[in-house]
Amino acid sequence: MNTKTTQTGGLSVEQKYRRSLRWNLVLGLIAAFLAIVVAAEMLPGESPASTDSDDTEHAEEMDFVRRDADDPMAIGDVDAPVVLSEFIDMRCPFCAVVSRDIMPKLIEEYVDTGKVRIEFHDLVFYGDQSEQAAVAARAAGEQDKYFEFVTAVYADAPERSHPDLPRKELIEFAKDADVPDIKQFTEDLDNKELTDEVKASMQQAQQLGVTSTPFFVVGNTSLSGAQPVDMFRDFLDEALEEAE
């Protein structure tokens, strides 16, 4: 896999490359269930150590891969050979670029063809509005409109800045996403359980070492930023080859 990334969000190519290596190390440790601290960074393309788990079809996947058929925060076949995990902040301008320019192509070429399942994980980097927007996305997901809501928010996002997402705007985006019960959606914006789920997702991401959005993980490899579509194709094609 080409681990070189372009500069986004103020980070240099070398910084992002080193971050990807550190992330691959963490994932390798999780996959191996080792109880030791490894000082050396994992080399690009290196596979994690084998695990003691049963030799099932998806035994190599990390513990944040859900593969739940009723998961509202996922699109694609639950038994697709590859799961692409995407970590997003609802106010992230680069996440919006991926949603508008990259995601439709990936859905057409990989999701609709049954090759890849995409599972979303919410992060909160840009203040209270980011958290409330993540809660709102989950509230839309309670009515099976998570992906539609996220797409609506990103479709309206500014090119190079963080969108303003007050409560009133979130309700309007829910209408744009055809959330059927707006009254219930509005009530769910204050649902403590959904807020706790967002906080738990953020905590898990921090523990895994995710410090930027958008961030993508397949197996023990990662990709950061709004990369060209061909880089995503290479990323997924390599994962599909390994899954065969």
pLDDT in tens, 106-164: 999 999 999 999 999 999 999 999 999 999 999 999 999 999 999 999 999 998 899 99
Beta bridge partners of 82: 116
Buried b / exposed e over 60-86, threshold 16 CB at 10 Å, is bbbebbbeeeeebbbbbeeebbbbbbb
Structure tokens at 137: 């996305």
Phi, psi of 70 (to 5 degrees): -100, 15
- 59 or 222: which leads in pLDDT: 222
Angle of CA points 103, 101, 79, to nearest 5°: 10
Buried b / exposed e over 92-118, threshold 16 CB at 10 Å, is bbbbbbbbbebbeebbebbbeeebbbb
CA separation for the pair 103, 151 (Å, rounded): 10
Q: What is the CATH number of the domain that holds 230?
A: 3.40.30.10
Question: Is there a domain that residue 49 lies in?
Answer: no
Dihedral, 67, 72, 75, 80 alpha carbons, nearest 10: 20
Residues near 26 by Cβ (< 8 Å), separated by ≥ 6? 208, 209
Question: Is there a domain that residue 46 lies in?
Answer: no
- pLDDT higher than threshold 90 for residue 25: no
The pLDDT value given to residue 140? 98
Residues near 186 by Cβ (< 8 Å), separated by ≥ 6? 171
Number of domains the chain contains: 1
CA separation for the pair 155, 100 (Å, rounded): 6
pLDDT tens readout for residues 184-220: 999 999 999 999 999 999 999 999 999 999 999 999 8
Contact 147, 75 (CB under 8 A): yes
Question: Is there a domain that residue 6 lies in?
Answer: no
Contact 92, 165 (CB under 8 A): no
Question: Is there a domain that residue 4 lies in?
Answer: no
The pLDDT value given to residue 61? 72
CA separation for the pair 177, 157 (Å, rounded): 15
Question: Is there a domain that residue 99 lies in?
Answer: yes
- pLDDT higher than threshold 90 for residue 37: no
The predicted model scores a pTM of: 0.76
- pLDDT higher than threshold 90 for residue 241: yes
Question: Is there a domain that residue 48 lies in?
Answer: no
Question: Is there a domain that residue 209 lies in?
Answer: yes
Question: Is there a domain that residue 7 lies in?
Answer: no
The pLDDT value given to residue 62? 72
- pLDDT higher than threshold 70 for residue 178: yes
- 61 or 53: which leads in pLDDT: 61
- The confidence band for 3, taking pLDDT boundaries of 50, 70 and 90, is very low
**Which residue segment(s) compose the domain that 30 sits in?**
13-40+60-243
Angle of CA points 92, 98, 103, to nearest 5°: 140
pLDDT tens readout for residues 54-112: 333 443 577 899 999 999 999 999 999 999 999 999 999 999 999 999 999 999 999 99
